[in-house]
């Protein structure tokens, strides 16, 4: 956060320096934007293979084989979900929120991919439908499905407010991954990573640049749909913040379950090929 009263006087050419137009850090023209039509066509006749109801203030893991779709749906009431994704064969390859943000922007929608961490950097999942894509950006600069927050966690809660709260998304995801893998709790915790904030409405304040949240526009029936580019383990936490209109890290907010459904298409989407390893040679110049 910038100081309200700067310690340093602006130089004479300050306005000229500030007037320099920005350039996009990562022009993504070289990343072909997927044509979603074959993915939508592949849904015809698909088969529901699993259904997981994530209880309020809890998390659950789910498995998605490569080439399957999964949908996260709002049921019962407005609710935000915190999503982690791993390569099912290597928990060391996981969703990389930071680079996904650098490539696709602060909030994701259909056509965006969820990229994995270095040294992998390949798509784990492609977002194929977003029923909240009408929202765009609001007058506050807010939008839906962000990759700018991290996940609510009991350490930050303790730092700011004191106390021991055990149903932050970080803890929910930790317990869920431990249950799915059999890993001891603290080993599972090390695999929890920055999330895709599904349905959460967030932004940065224009005056102070602070991370803000506001009531999610999600309503029962809304969903975010993904295509698994590789075999995935997912974990979804129904955030204790509920619709995140007021607070999280407590049991105060009204919370609702979230539904995760996995679908098997009859055929792979036309033209889709599984992502190979990143082509960088990893010599790092030596």
Applying CB under 5 A, which residues contact Zn ion? Answer: 152, 169, 239
Least distance in angstroms from the C-beta of 276 to Zn ion: 34
Say how many CA atoms lie within 13 Å of 227 toward its Cβ.
31
Least distance in angstroms from the C-beta of 169 to Zn ion: 3
Nearer to Zn ion, 108 or 152 (CB): 152
Sign of CA dihedral 166, 171, 176, 177: negative
CB 155 within 8 A of CB 143: no
Least distance in angstroms from the C-beta of 153 to Zn ion: 8
Nearest to 152 by CA among 75, 73, 80, 232: 80
How far apart (Å, rounded) are the C-alpha atoms in residues 212 and 203?
5
Nearer to Zn ion, 95 or 227 (CB): 95
Least distance in angstroms from the C-beta of 168 to Zn ion: 6
Nearer to Zn ion, 42 or 253 (CB): 253
How far apart (Å, rounded) are the C-alpha atoms in residues 66 and 179?
22
Nearer to Zn ion, 76 or 247 (CB): 247
Residue 45 CB neighbour total at 10 angstroms: 8
Q: What are the residues facing 84 on neighbouring strands?
A: 235
CB 40 within 8 A of CB 129: yes
Say how many CA atoms lie within 13 Å of 7 toward its Cβ.
2
Nearer to Zn ion, 57 or 68 (CB): 57
Least distance in angstroms from the C-beta of 80 to Zn ion: 7
């Amino acid at each position: 956060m910038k100081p309200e009263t700067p310690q340093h006087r602006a130089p004479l050419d300050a306005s000229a320096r500030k007037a320099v137009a920005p350039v996009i850090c990562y022009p993504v023209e070289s990343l072909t934007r997927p044509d979603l039509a074959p993915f939508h066509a592949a849904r015809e006749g698909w088969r529901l293979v699993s259904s997981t109801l994530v209880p309020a203030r809890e998390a659950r893991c789910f498995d998605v084989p490569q080439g399957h779709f999964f949908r996260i749906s709002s049921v019962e009431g407005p609710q935000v979900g915190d999503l982690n994704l791993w390569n099912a064969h290597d928990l060391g390859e996981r969703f990389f929120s930071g680079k996904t943000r650098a490539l696709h922007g602060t909030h994701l929608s259909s056509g965006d991919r969820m990229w994995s961490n270095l040294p992998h950097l390949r798509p784990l999942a492609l977002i194929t439908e977003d029923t909240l894509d009408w929202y765009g950006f609001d007058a506050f600069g807010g939008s839906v499905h962000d990759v700018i927050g991290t996940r609510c966690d009991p350490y930050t809660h303790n730092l700011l407010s004191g106390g021991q709260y055990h149903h932050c998304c970080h803890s929910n995801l930790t317990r869920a991954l431990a249950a799915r893998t059999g890993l001891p709790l603290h080993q599972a915790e090390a695999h929890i990573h920055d999330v895709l904030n599904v349905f959460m409405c967030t932004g940065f304040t224009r005056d102070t640049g602070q991370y803000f949240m506001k009531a999610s526009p999600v309503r029962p029936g809304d969903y975010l749909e993904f295509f698994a580019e590789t075999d995935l383990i997912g974990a979804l936490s129904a955030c204790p913040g509920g619709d995140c209109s007021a607070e999280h890290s407590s049991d105060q907010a009204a919370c609702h379950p979230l539904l995760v459904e996995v679908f098997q298409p009859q055929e792979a989407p036309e033209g889709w090929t599984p992502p190979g390893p990143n082509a960088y040679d990893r010599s790092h110049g030596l």
